[in-house]
Structure 1
């Protein structure tokens, strides 16, 4: 799966979870850049991502995912 396909699948997830219909995903996007991105919404988003891509994240992987680009790379490694 390439980056563009992953971004196409991630974008609606992020927009729904964070109630931000205009949100544009970039590699550098992080929780600091999104108003509604707190610990609860982060866990909701990660669960949605796992379901959408049919993958599971380990706790140590989750701790390393601070930016969208890191999430994309992790998804690529599992897809």
Structure 2
């Protein structure tokens, strides 16, 4: 499974929307249900899925889904 697919699966599970399709230009504001609590759950779930650990700064610094995806792709090797 690709980074995109794994990331989308995590976000879909946390948000509870199996039809959600993430785009690189999306932000949390673009996704219904992606509030501050969901954000923390998404980030921790991504840490577990990809075996990475976000710094405190990174937890809130990604500008959009694309930036987060690129980070995960580079961290995943």
Matched, 1:65 2:53: no
**Equivalent pair of 1:31/1:66 in contact (CA under 8 Å):** no
**Equivalent pair of 1:15/1:23 in contact (CA under 8 Å):** yes
Equivalent position SS for 1:56: coil
What is the match of residue 37 of structure 2?
40
Equivalent position SS for 2:66: helix
- Matched residue count: 76
Distance (Å, rounded) in 1 between the aligned partners of 2:40 and 2:63: 13
Q: How far apart are 1:66 and its partner, in Å?
A: 2.9
Q: Scaled by the length of structure 1, what TM-score is found?
A: 0.86
Q: How far apart are 1:12 and its partner, in Å?
A: 1.2
Displacement over 6 Å in runs of 4+? none
Structure 2 alignment gaps of length 5 or more: none
Q: How far apart are 1:77 and its partner, in Å?
A: 2.7
Matched, 1:25 2:22: yes
Equivalent position SS for 1:59: coil
